[in-house]
Chains A and B, each alone.
Chain A
Amino acid sequence: MMKKIETSIDTLKKDIKEFYDYKKWHFLTLNGVALEDDMLEIQWIFSEYEVKNKIVVYYAHIKYDELIPSIVEIIPSAIISQREIVDMFGVEVEGSQKGLYLDEDSQQKPLSGCSI
């Protein structure tokens, strides 16, 4: 079943590094959910190989102007989800630039609560 673990952007890298064993855990994706009061929930979703229905979600509540740390050194395949989050929510993720779906200089942030 789905297990949610709270983390913060300061302790995220440490938490994920301790948790992530690349032969046991499969990194699914990075997800963002727009919350009320200009807050954003960022989720890092994992599942376990060969175990039924085991999903672990790390989440952190952040403001739109905060810098999200990158976990690419720990999980290389996170790069593509990080770029999507940058495009869709207009947030900043360490080392990921805009331009996967949108134009590089686009001001839009389609999925954020305060879209223009």
Chain B
Amino acid sequence: MKKTINIPIGSQHIALLEPVRFKFECENEKIVGVDSDVGFVHRGIEKACTTKFKYDAIGYVVARVCGLCAITHSMTYTASIEKLIGGEITQKAKYLRILLLELDRIHSHMLCLSHTCENAGFEAMFMRIMGDREDIMEIQELITGNRVQFDYISIGGVNRDIDAALAKKILSKLELVRQKVLGYMDEFTNNWSLSLKFKGVGILTLDDAYRFNAIGPLARASGVQADVRNEIDYLPYNEIGFKMQKHTEGDINARNLIRLNELLNSIEMCNNILEGLPEGEIFTKLRGKPNGESVVRFEAPRGELMYYVKANGSAMLERVRIKTPTFSSIPAFSHIFTGANYADAPAILASFDPCLSCTAK
């Protein structure tokens, strides 16, 4: 007789917000095998980028890969095209790009933390964080003119400038959010249902993190020094006070703390940018058509995002390869699930912060 039973989670599940299906092979309460199906929302964007759109429009197409990290997608694509054309953008445009990237990270991490709370059964905290996240959304709307699809970055610079009055408004809102994040730190370290319950659950050891090429907060919670912001030089991250966050436990609690610390660091970076924003143009017209191939990486809220672009000097590109963070973390996810309790599965999954519309692009 077969000893194991198969229990699926997803593709529609009350504790799961994304269209993903995991098939767990369980022996009593323990998960012994995992199979995942991620292709529910595949839209063929890579194909559309090489057949339907010209290179200067694709920045807006790839922004629609994902609603949460839209700005990182258009940023990475734009950086790779700028590399191929060989143009240099102004310092001010670079700083404004970082500002938006970090705001994006703040609201994405807040979303993840709120879902972690929801999966722990802490509905009130979920509502609180989601309510506070609204402030960040408002800042983004003030800067870009839209709440979700920002369309802020274009090839050669950014589309909108910020003035002194707006910068002041943003600074005061960020200070409010910072106070609230310090409050969450307290809850996430002292509240029983958010800290002790999560300790020792869903562990990824340092060795396994290296072996399975874990990325983003998942890797940093296990102690890997992997942050793409530290490994690139086309945005001046070292000038604005970027600090890499690291933990060694590798459990859900460590991932939450990594995200909280990154929130504080991102808010600090945004403050530094707004206080020391240089004067200058926000847009430089870049002439020429892209030619050659380039690999550009960026740190999206969930980890490393990579674009491979191959162009042949015409307006249509030959190949656009998008490697999204959740996609390359799936082997690590499956590894963490093996050996965990089935009852912990939703909580573990929420701590990964999966983004399936990125994965099936």
Contacts and interface: CB of A to CB of B under 8 A. Distances in A.
B321 A26 contact: no
Contacts of B360: 101
Contact of A76 (B224, B231, B304, B331): B331
A2 B308 CA distance: 11
Interface in A97-116: 100-102, 110-111
A80 B319 contact: no
B213 A26 contact: yes
Contacts of A22: 210-211
B246 to A, nearest CB: 12
B318 A47 contact: no
A102 B39 contact: yes
Contacts, number: 86
B38 interface: yes
Contacts of B38: 100-101
A75 interface: yes
B47 A111 contact: yes
B330 interface: yes
A22 B206 CA distance: 12
A29 B328 contact: yes
A34 interface: yes
B46 A111 contact: yes
Given A28-B297, A53-B231, A77 B226 contact: no
Chain B's interface size range is 35 or more
B332 interface: yes
Contact of A26 (B44, B226, B293, B295): B226
Interface string B210-229: 11110100000000111000
Nearest to A75: B213
A115 B330 CA distance: 28
A27 B225 contact: no
A31 B321 contact: yes
Nearest to A43: B308
A52 B231 contact: yes
A88 B212 CA distance: 23
Contacts of A28: 295, 297, 304, 306, 323, 328
Interface in A10-33: 22-23, 26-29, 31, 33
A62 interface: no
A23 B206 CA distance: 10
Contacts of B319: 33-34, 111
Interface string B323-361: 100011011100100000000000000000000000010
10 contacts: A28-B297, A49-B224, A49-B225, A53-B231, A76-B211, A80-B328, A101-B42, A110-B47, A111-B46, A111-B47
Rank and list the top 8 A-B pairs by shortest CB-CB distance, nearest first.
A101-B39, A77-B331, A77-B213, A29-B323, A101-B42, A33-B319, A31-B321, A77-B212
